[in-house]
Chain A
Amino acid sequence: QQPVQSPQAVILREGEDAVINCSSSKALYSVHWYRQKHGEAPVFLMILLKGGEQKGHDKISASFNEKKQQSSLYLTASQLSYSGTYFCGTERLRALRTGGGADGLTFGKGTHLIIQP
């Protein structure tokens, strides 16, 4: 089942902060975040594997609330290079899978982020 992302679009001035949310009605093992620029492939940002885990990457960080099956991506002091579409991708708990290995990610509809100078 597709995770729900919000907001659909954000317009920021350079240096401002943004939060993108992702929620699922299904129990998750992990949440991934990817950024895709126009005409390019999605690029991995980070993966969150445990409840309450937070990860950071430069000025981009994320959290995962396992109890609520929600994840948030935080972009602080945004730069022009942050523009693009952000997708969360969710992976179900292994116990709920029909087999081993990988099941692939189900992506949310995306959040279109525009950073203006």
Chain B
Amino acid sequence: DTEVTQTPKHLVMGMTNKKSLKCEQHMGHRAMYWYKQKAKKPPELMFVYSYEKLSINESVPSRFSPECPNSSLLNLHLHALQPEDSALYLCASSQPGDRGGGELFFGEGSRLTVL
């Protein structure tokens, strides 16, 4: 199984809503990532979990809250978002090696629209 599964595929929410994006992988990878991608832009790193610990937070606003319940699951909790947060949210996983993070396997993404 070489898939990273993200749910939901599409999400529309109001600025006062609380929602969550979910990501799951069964490749035994020990690093998981959240990236944000706007149209015609590159993926932008948000969070990195290495061995279930948050290792990178790229100055992301607190209205985004990541959670890694176990090595296979990664959540992104959303609260009080702004319309400019509308984007494709990509989850990825990799197996860190001796000196590097390894090849990224991306999920298909969750397309978020904030009204």
Interface residues of A (CB under 8 A from B): 2, 29-30, 32, 34, 40-44, 47, 49, 87, 89, 91, 94, 99-110
21 A-B pairs with CB atoms under 8 Å apart are: A40-B108, A41-B108, A42-B90, A87-B42, A91-B100, A99-B55, A100-B50, A100-B96, A101-B48, A101-B50, A101-B96, A102-B31, A104-B33, A104-B48, A104-B101, A105-B101, A106-B45, A108-B42, A109-B41, A109-B42, A110-B42
B51 CB-CB contact with A under 8 Å? yes
A30, A44, A91, A101: the one contacting B51 at CB < 8 Å is A101
- B45 pairs with A32, CB closer than 8 A: no
Extra contacts, 15 of them, besides A47-B103, A99-B50 (Cβ < 8 A), are A29-B99, A41-B106, A43-B106, A44-B105, A89-B104, A94-B100, A101-B51, A101-B53, A102-B33, A102-B96, A103-B56, A103-B101, A104-B101, A109-B42, A110-B41
